[in-house]
Structure 1
Amino acid sequence: MNQLKTRFPLSSGQKFLTGYRLLEPSKRPIYVSLAACSVVIGLVMVMHQKATMFGLAFVLSGMIGLGKSVQGWFEEFNMEKWKRQHGSMTVRGIKVGMALFITSEAAFFASFFWAFSHACWGSCSMNMVWPPIGFRCISPWKWPMYNCALLIGSGLTVTYAHKAAKWQERSPYIHEERVHKALNVTCALGGFFMLIQAYEYWSMPFGMYDSVYGSCFYMMTGFHGLHVIAGSVWLCCCSQAASNRAYMMRRPHLGVQLGVWYWHFVDVVWLLVWGVVYVNGSVWY
């Protein structure tokens, strides 16, 4: 037990904080589950073109519920960290949980890559045409390549922000502004990525219901876009926190570090999407 104690006093009634953190009862998991269920039901209704307006309403209400729940969770997380209630074992558990979450997301995208590759190689093995006749594939060397450059550049800026957050321990008044600016640049690059993706969708010659090619294409790129939006919101919250000097003095590196992990995962997924969908599709075309 002595190894789990920290030197940070918790309150006047409790002298030392152990490495473990017992959470108080919360209703947020129930709210998140209901909101996620609403989003899934709405997406199913929209995809099957049944009661589309009600489906969009379900999706919108679910997204708002998820956003409010996540915002509340972040506020509680930052408050606990501000009160120095995160011991060594708590931080370790948070990192392990984030690693498992990214692993589950990797398995999620792997299922789409497998579906696309199976349809591609299965069609070729049976001497069929891939992509299907009538499809005009998007050139991988134009807008998709620009998106690759944007995400690679954002990976460099977010890594610099993480390094600056570590350097902040030694010179807090010098590096806090660098963290803030680097995270802002990363969020801006993510925003430009989404603008290019939206323009690509607008000019796309095929839709989501056009064969398995269109379904896999929109599912992979669409869900990746949602992850880019989520990562940008996360890093924007970290950037806003980095602008608070008093908050930076409390070593808020954990949130930045987890955001960096998530953003690098988004970068790697896009490179795989670009190689498997855009380049592979154009080669067979």
Structure 2
Amino acid sequence: MIMRTVYVNGDYVPENDAKISVFDRGFLMADGVYEVTSVLDGKLIDFAGHAKRLERSLSELNMQQPACLPDLLDIHRELVRLNGVEEGMVYLQITRGAPDDRDFVFPDPETTEPTVVLFTQNKPGLADSPAAKKGIKVISIEDQRWARRDIKTVQLLFPSMGKMMAKAAGADDAWMVEDGAVTEGTSNNAYIIKNNTIITRHLGSEILHGITRAAVLRFAREAQMKVEERSFTIAEAQEADEAFITSASTFVMPVVEIDGATIGAGAPGPVATRLREIYLDESRKAAV
């Protein structure tokens, strides 16, 4: 097994030597935020978007920015180099740090520095995923997460449970539903296509403001595709011509079945397929 080099609070260390305090608030309180940036051809995809969202997440939780964005970019690039990542991801997590003891009250930021951890994941074939050629199946579940889903926190227990519910049902993922409407997938934004119109939920505190979502919708509009940002139901999704999800790790992934109902022809449709091609093409051109 190849030992990865990871980054912990200023140091590049072998993964087996990486340590944080048992009093770290990320461990005790899920008091932290994260970002995942994809790597294609050894370069970072949409780093600026992820960095901007990171700043917002930190601000919404009144957490310190532990490093300037150029320094974070340098750390990302160095980890990609040290670990020889051609296709994969860089995971970044920042927590409120490790005070002397456990307490619900936030520690004094003057005396408790944030914890910063980064690591890479090698994912050969990430852009040429077999799943993208056949599409994925999803189920619907009740959305039981906290109300501030627009902040990319490390509170991922219910999304993990949702993934396991999907696995138990023989599906690949789950779309979460609140007040009768789809919010998003367990780790992705959700879309349907009807009469050549791309429909996805409007931004708000109910969903994560996906970086891939923003890029895909921009590319779609530039390609003269019609986009509607509004709520939709599972019933409407089951009657759609196509469906898909977007995320940093799946890019544009067609959905071919929802709660057992076949979507369209039961295979990736032309719009989702074209959007994936455009996204990968344009993202590679702009990668850093």
TM-score range, shorter chain: under 0.3
Bigger share in helix: 1
Bigger share in strand: 2
Q: TM-score, normalised by structure 2?
A: 0.24
Larger Cα Rg: Structure 1 or Structure 2? 1
Q: TM-score, normalised by structure 1?
A: 0.24
